[in-house]
Structure formats: structure tokens, C-alpha cells
Amino acid sequence: MDAVKKSLISLHFTVILLGGTALFSRLVPLSASDITLVRSVFACIALFAFLKLAKNKIKLNSKKDYGVALGLGVLMALHWVTYFAAMQYAGVSVGMIALFTFPVITVLIEPFFERVRLVWQDIVSTVTVVVGVYLIVPETSLENDITLGVLIGIASAILYSFRNLIHRKHFKHYSGAQAMAWQTLVISILMLPVGSAAITSASTSSWLMLLLLGTVFTALPHALIAASLRHLRAKTFSLIACMQPLYGVFLAIILLNEKPGLSALLGGILITSASVYETLNTHKLHNAKDD
């Protein structure tokens, strides 16, 4: 098996792991902020250990980059908290679908970061996502947990979009493992003051699941992404990453016995389709700009 095939298999495995992170919002009986705190601590330790063992560079290049890492860490902390909260309110399936509005949201805010213009296809994608969100929302009242979860999921998507754009503009010269090591360190420090007593009284099984979340489902995927991109184009990674909600929903159906309705599944198809299209179009535009 050649390096490219191995990288593709590794990448699909990575996306499955990333999709599986949502399951822990239901499996661990802690608040979204507590899960984020412990996840970031375990991930931070694992990522710095990986960098050390792999003899990769740990320090950043400049004081400015440490400032960027701080800003990215703040955005990631807010993204992770809202990510888990969305799943706890709306369920893993609907929460994952809501989160994957981020590729289209990224396209809408990208003109503020780079010299790109919106085209009519972007408006079509936006309308498609709006229709998809309408289909997964059961009612407009915020008293409905699913509706609230969808809105929190979209807020998480907005935070993730800003984080990704800032990362691409100011931090892309670092590997995924190195970048996430510093961001998880920032998240750990930020979340420590808001950690509750429920963490210390959590059961052994909860601690084991949190260890699994921080290492196998967080640190490992980011290390694998860095390795996969040595043999695959960023476009390939982005397209395969769009399968994350599909894997997440499938895992939720199998492991959590969730049963998303036909309307939610149709909304998910619309949102995911728009995400795939915008991913393809974004790479096409960037390639044209580079040529």
C-alpha cells in the first residue's frame, strides 16, 4: 500500500474520531464547560508529549505568534463549550448538522479577512443552509431545547469560522499538533477558574471517557492530520472533513440510539451539500489566485 492510500485511510479514521467527540456530550454527565476543561488538559499534555517524543519544535517563532495562539485559544475555548452545549440540548445528530454550517459562514465572513468577493453561488449556498436549518428546527421558541441547541450550534460554527480564518492568515506555518498544543494550553488556563466541583466527584468511568476524549479523540486526530497532509492536498482533507457530520450522526444512531426525523436528515443533506460545494469552490478560488 503506497503512502497516499495509507494517508487517505488515516484521514478517514481521523475524521471518524473527530465526529466521535460529540458522543461524549451525552456519555459524560458533566457540563459543557467541565468537559471542555478536562478535555483540553488531557489533550494539552498528550500533544506536548507527542511533540517532545517526535523531537518536533515546541516553541513558537515570535512574541506575535504567542499572541495569536492566545486569541485562537480563546476562540477554541468558546467553540468547544458551545459545541458540547449544542449536543446536550439538541442531541448529537442535530447538533452536528448545526455546527457544519461553518463552511458557508466562513465564506460569508471571509471578505473581511482576505481580498475575495461573494458571488451568486455563495448566496445560493447561504439560502440552502437557511432552508436546512429551518428543517432541523422543530419550532421557533427558545423554550424548545432542540431549537436552542441549533442556535448554540450555529454560534459555535461562527466561532469556529473566525478561528479557522485567523489560523489560516496568521498561524498556518505551524503543524496541526504544534498549533493545537498551544491552543489547548490556553483553553486549559482559561477554563480552570470556571471548573466546578462536579469534576472532582466524577466517577471513574467518566474520568476514563474524558481521558479517551482528550487523547484518542483530540490529540491523536491532530497529530494524524499533520502526518496525512505530507502526502495529501489540503483540498482532499477539507472534502473528507465534510464527512464528519455523516460519521457523527451514524455513530449517534448506532451507539446512542438517536433517531433523527426525516426533516432533520433532509436538512442535514442540504447543509452538508452546501458545505461540500463551498469547500470545493474555496479551493478552486485559492488555487486560481496562487497561479
Residue pLDDT, tens place only, 137-183: 877 777 889 899 999 999 999 999 899 889 888 888 888 889 999 99
| Per-residue pLDDT at 148 | 93
Q: Quick one: which of 29, 42, 88 has its CA closest to 216?
A: 42
Q: Are 81 and 33 in contact, with CB atoms under 8 Å apart?
A: yes
In this prediction, residue 227 has a pLDDT band, given cuts at 50, 70 and 90, of: low
In this prediction, residue 283 has a pLDDT band, given cuts at 50, 70 and 90, of: low
Residue with cell 462536579: 198
- Count of helices and strands (H, E) across the chain: 14, 0
| Per-residue pLDDT at 192 | 96
Q: Long-range contacts: 225-233, Cβ < 8 Å, 24+? A: 225/11, 225/14, 225/176, 226/175, 226/176, 226/177, 227/7, 227/10, 228/7, 228/8, 228/10, 228/11, 228/14, 229/176, 230/7, 231/3, 231/4, 231/6, 231/7, 232/4, 232/7, 232/8, 232/11
Rg (CA), the chain: 18
Compute the distance between CA of residue 60 and CA of residue 235 in angstroms, rounded to an integer.
Answer: 26
In this predicted model, what pLDDT tens digit does every residue of 63-89 receive, in sequence order? 999 999 999 999 999 999 999 999 999
| Per-residue pLDDT at 71 | 97
| Per-residue pLDDT at 119 | 76
CB-count exposure of residue 178 (10 Å: 0-12, 13-18, 19+):
buried
Q: Would you tell me the crossing angle of helices 145-170 and 102-109 to the nearest 10 degrees?
A: 50
Percent residues over pLDDT 90 in the chain: 43
Largest CA distance in the chain: 57
Terminal-to-terminal C-alpha distance of the chain = 32
The shares of helix, strand and coil residues in the chain, as percent rounded to the nearest 5, are 80, 0, 20
List the Cα angle 108/40/149 in 5-degree steps: 50
Q: What is the pTM of this model?
A: 0.86
| Per-residue pLDDT at 19 | 87
Compute the distance between CA of residue 71 and CA of residue 69 in angstroms, rounded to an integer.
Answer: 5
Compute the distance between CA of residue 179 and CA of residue 260 in angstroms, rounded to an integer.
Answer: 35
Compute the distance between CA of residue 174 and CA of residue 165 in angstroms, rounded to an integer.
Answer: 14
List the Cα angle 179/28/25 in 5-degree steps: 60
List the Cα angle 108/285/104 in 5-degree steps: 25
